[in-house]
A = this chain, B = another copy of it.
């Protein structure tokens, strides 16, 4: 099942929320995990995150009853963490001035033929590989938060990336139960954040125009189109919407209406007034921790239903 040998070591560099969640998943899947994070107290935070993630990992990733702590180690430097690693998942700060020396240190210490995947959501491949001795082995492996729960990983590699490294990263992510998606080049926001941005822009436009409250727009999504979007994306949804004729019939029937909706979509800015409205509406919701627990419970149920 795993593409590396049993017990292969993976390095997790930078262990905030994202890095710690990756570490939990890698442990659940049987790997040795060596973590480096310079922040004081990070070791305790990682252990707590692994414990927090474990019940979900038992349900969706066949994790053993308790975390295999003996397979989790911490290194005092990035170089030491990656020295024996077959694959590096880097989750450092989204600041090129901090990321560049970190990646250079990783690249220098990592043996030939091993891959560096960056969890970056905002930096392009050109920025990531700038200054590396082996620039063709770094790629983006951008997870969707939290990585141990949400299957999506956006894998970005372009014509300067070693195709074998891209294929191997895709294969690795698939082997641990992820759903890696291949992007042919860096675009701002990858795919998922752009789709989120597109939908939120229109949602906020409707709020701004007074058509409905933010909570009602949210409900319209969650009780309507959102019910299908965790099952299939928009093109497949419309393919089914076309009946036996599929997407061609859909475009034939609704292409003109679609264009009229596109033409009428709005634009917004996060003005202080708009943010104030959102804050006031969200303040009426139940406690954030309770909402989060409920959301994650239902995501697990969805992932289980998908497997049936």
Give residues in A with beta carbon < 8 Å to B. 121-122, 144-145, 150-152, 154, 179, 181-185, 187-204, 206-207, 209-212, 214-241, 243-244, 246-248, 251, 255, 257-262, 264-265, 267-270, 275, 278-279, 281-283, 285, 288, 291-292, 294-295, 297-299, 301-303, 305-306, 308
Contacts and interface: CB of A to CB of B under 8 A. Distances in A.
Secondary structure at chain A's binding surface: helix, strand, loop or mixed?
Answer: helix
A87 B233 CA distance: 36
Nearest to A256: B270
Contacts of A203: 195, 233-235
Contact of A288 (B198, B240, B291, B306): B240
Contacts of A278: 235, 239, 247, 251
Nearest to A239: B282
Given A184-B211, A221-B229, 15 more contacts: A144-B225, A150-B223, A181-B212, A189-B260, A191-B224, A194-B261, A196-B237, A197-B261, A200-B235, A203-B234, A227-B230, A239-B282, A247-B275, A255-B270, A301-B305
Nearest to A240: B292
A179 to B, nearest CB: 4
B295 A232 contact: yes
Contact of A222 (B198, B231, B288): B231
Contacts of A193: 257, 261
A281 B235 contact: yes
B150 A181 contact: no
Contacts of A294: 231
A193 to B, nearest CB: 6
Contact of A152 (B212, B224, B295): B224
B235 A154 contact: no
B295 A270 contact: no
